[in-house]
């Protein structure tokens, strides 16, 4: 972000004046417009219950219309609102018409949300193929595991622990060549960096809202390509699948073709207000600008720390694989002590896989990062 706008940045992101938040890969503090939207919703409920329901539905509709632009798309019909990333991934895993002997390829070291639904298919005779990405060319390993029986490749576009960003276009091209569905868990990507689902030839993308999307927990965006969506059975039908859900006496209950077929019941309206506000903010900033500002921050951390003796980066050095996460080990310093040191300085990070994980966002002031780098350097002395 442009430093000349720093006053307004501090107003937009109140956490800036209080803490150095380097933990967006876990849960993000809410920007001011998000907390305002949530507070207004709370006041509305407290004073008049659901009398404003019509307005709530308009906010929901605005979210449906705005969200596709984060994916390089325009069609609101391709977005379903679900309660979290795991739910979206499970709807895909349970919805496909698997046959005994099919196989599914996924990342062995992925977050469990993106391994367990695929492993659970074993009871249907589907062969789970977990692929270790601990190689110099992870995309090649994933593609090599695809065989004639493979129906779907599931990846997380950015690894939650080491921040490695996969070359999605390369994977999407291989999937399309082999006639395999391509499913992306983008919770560590959406809101951080641009994503164009056509360019990467994705079939399904799911991303929860409480990390890089800067919104409340309990809500996720689930995008599906119409032809891929048509392959999924509606395993959890419900009254709210229809664009006119209050018509309880419809003669035909056939699920709609739109992604709303994955929305059986009442949604988390409070979170919808928050996510509508945060997606508006991100769209207004422009995802290209957000992504490049975030990469400037990842670059600063990476370049300042990679040459420090006794510090080992586990996140990517190659720029094309960087995203918003920088992970490291300090020789002789256990990650708990390192985290405690940072916390003493008002710097909030996380430990994942015995590494210190730093995850700024596009708005994080560079001076805060410089200060964090100083503290980390001192620990390595
Ligand atoms: C890659 C990845 N997928 C999924 C999740 C969790 O998703 P949810 O709680 O929205 O189901 C996380 C959370 O850390 C994650 O890092």
Summarised one tens digit per residue, pLDDT across range 167-203 is: 999 999 999 999 999 999 999 999 999 999 999 999 9
Specify whether 264 is located in the same domain as 200.
yes
Among 24, 25, 192, 208, the mutation site with the greatest number of ligand 1 atoms within 8 A of its Cβ is 208
In this prediction, residues 222-229 reach a mean pLDDT of 98
In this prediction, residues 148-165 reach a mean pLDDT of 98
In this prediction, residues 299-314 reach a mean pLDDT of 97
Specify whether 223 is located in the same domain as 347.
no
Closest Cα to atom 14 of ligand 1: 26
Model pTM score = 0.96
CATH number of the domain enclosing 360: 3.90.1150.10
Q: Determine the pLDDT at residue 134.
A: 85
Specify whether 102 is located in the same domain as 221.
yes
Among 83, 154, 187, 325, the mutation site with the greatest number of ligand 1 atoms within 8 A of its Cβ is 187
Specify whether 69 is located in the same domain as 218.
yes
Specify whether 52 is located in the same domain as 8.
no
- For residue 208, the CA-to-ligand 1 centroid distance in Å is 7
Q: Determine the pLDDT at residue 5.
A: 52
- Both ends of the chain: CA-CA distance in Å? 32
Q: What is the SS3 assignment for the chain? A: CCHHHHHHHHHHCHHHHCCEECECCCCCCCCHHHHHHHHHHHHHHHHHHHHHHHHHHHHHHHHHHHHHHHHCCCCHHHEEEECCHHHHHHHHHHHCCCCCCCEEEEECCCCHHHCHHHHHHHHHCCEEEEECCCCCCHHHHHHHHCCCCEEEEEEECECCCCCCECCHHHHHHHHHHHCCEEEEECCCCECCECCCCCCCCCCEEEEECCCCCCCCCCCEEEEECHHHHCCCCCCCCCHHHCCCCCCCCCCCCCCCCCHHHHCCCCCCHHHHHHHHHHHHHHHHHCHHHHHHHHHHHHHHHHHHHCCCCCEEECCCCCHHHCCCCEEEEECCECHHHHHHHHHHCCEECEEECCEEEEECCCCCCHHHHHHHHHHHHHHHC
In tens, the pLDDT along 29-81 reads 999 999 999 999 999 999 999 999 999 999 999 999 999 999 999 999 999 99
In tens, the pLDDT along 332-344 reads 999 999 999 999 9
Statement: residue 238 has pLDDT above 70: yes
Among 113, 204, 323, the mutation site with the greatest number of ligand 1 atoms within 8 A of its Cβ is 113
Q: Determine the pLDDT at residue 3.
A: 40
Residues in contact with ligand 1 (CB, 6 Å cut-off): 84-86, 111, 113-114, 156, 160, 185, 187-188, 208, 220
Specify whether 369 is located in the same domain as 239.
no
- Residue 325 lies inside a defined structural domain of this protein: yes
- Residue 251 lies inside a defined structural domain of this protein: yes
Query: Residue 135: which pLDDT band, with cuts at 50, 70 and 90?
Result: confident
Q: Which residue has tokens 């329901």?
A: 53
In tens, the pLDDT along 249-264 reads 999 999 999 999 999 9
Q: Which domain covers residue 368, as residue numbers?
A: 3-22+287-380
Statement: residue 7 has pLDDT above 70: no
Query: Residue 307: which pLDDT band, with cuts at 50, 70 and 90?
Result: very high
- For residue 26, the CA-to-ligand 1 centroid distance in Å is 9
- For residue 378, the CA-to-ligand 1 centroid distance in Å is 32
Closest Cα to atom 4 of ligand 1: 113
In this prediction, residues 242-251 reach a mean pLDDT of 94
Mean pLDDT over all residues of the chain? 96
Statement: residue 1 has pLDDT above 80: no
Statement: residue 4 has pLDDT above 60: no
Specify whether 170 is located in the same domain as 207.
yes
pLDDT-above-90 percentage for the chain: 97
d(CA 186, CA 159): 10
Specify whether 242 is located in the same domain as 314.
no
Specify whether 268 is located in the same domain as 305.
no
Last residue of a domain, one of 284, 299, 324: 284
- For residue 120, the CA-to-ligand 1 centroid distance in Å is 17
CATH number of the domain enclosing 228: 3.40.640.10
Closest Cα to atom 16 of ligand 1: 160
Structure tokens at 344: 């003493």
């Amino acid at each position: 972000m442009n430093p000349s706008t720093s006053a307004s940045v501090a107003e937009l992101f109140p956490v800036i004046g209080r803490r150095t938040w380097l933990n967006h890969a876990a849960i993000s503090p809410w920007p001011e417009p998000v907390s305002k939207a949530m507070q207004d919703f709370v006041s509305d409920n407290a004073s008049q219950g659901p009398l404003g329901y019509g307005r709530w539905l308009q906010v929901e509709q605005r979210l449906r219309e705005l969200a596709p632009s984060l994916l390089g798309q325009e069609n609101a019909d391709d977005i379903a609102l679900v309660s979290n990333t795991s739910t979206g991934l499970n709807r895909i895993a349970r919805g496909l018409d698997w046959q005994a002997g099919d196989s599914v390829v996924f990342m062995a070291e992925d977050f469990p949300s993106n391994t367990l639904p695929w492993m659970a298919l074993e009871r249907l005779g589907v062969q789970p193929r977990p692929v270790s990405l601990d190689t110099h060319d992870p995309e090649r390993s994933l593609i090599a595991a695809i065989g004639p029986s493979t129906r779907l490749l599931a990846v997380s576009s950015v690894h939650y622990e080491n921040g490695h960003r996969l070359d999605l276009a390369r994977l999407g091209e291989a999937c399309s060549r082999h006639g395999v569905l391509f499913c992306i868990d983008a919770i560590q990507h959406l809101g951080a960096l641009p994503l164009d689902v056509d360019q990467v030839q994705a079939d399904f993308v799911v991303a929860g809202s409480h990390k890089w999307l800067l919104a409340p927990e309990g809500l996720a965006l689930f995008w599906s390509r119409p032809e891929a969506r048509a392959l999924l059975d509606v395993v959890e039908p419900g009254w709210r699948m229809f664009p006119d859900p209050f018509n309880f006496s419809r003669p035909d209950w056939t699920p709609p073709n739109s992604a709303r077929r994955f929305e059986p019941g009442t949604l988390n309206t409070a979170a919808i207000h928050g996510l509508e506000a945060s997606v508006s903010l991100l769209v207004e900033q422009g995802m290209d600008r957000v992504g490049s500002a975030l990469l400037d921050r990842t670059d600063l951390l990476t370049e300042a720390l990679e040459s420090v003796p006794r510090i080992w980066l586990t996140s990517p050095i190659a720029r094309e694989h960087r995203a918003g996460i920088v992970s490291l080990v300090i020789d002789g310093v256990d990650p708990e002590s390192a985290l405690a040191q940072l916390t003493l300085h008002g710097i909030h990070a996380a430990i994942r896989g015995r590494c210190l994980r730093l995850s700024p966002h596009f708005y994080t002031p560079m001076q805060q990062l410089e200060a964090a780098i100083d503290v980390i350097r001192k620990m390595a002395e």
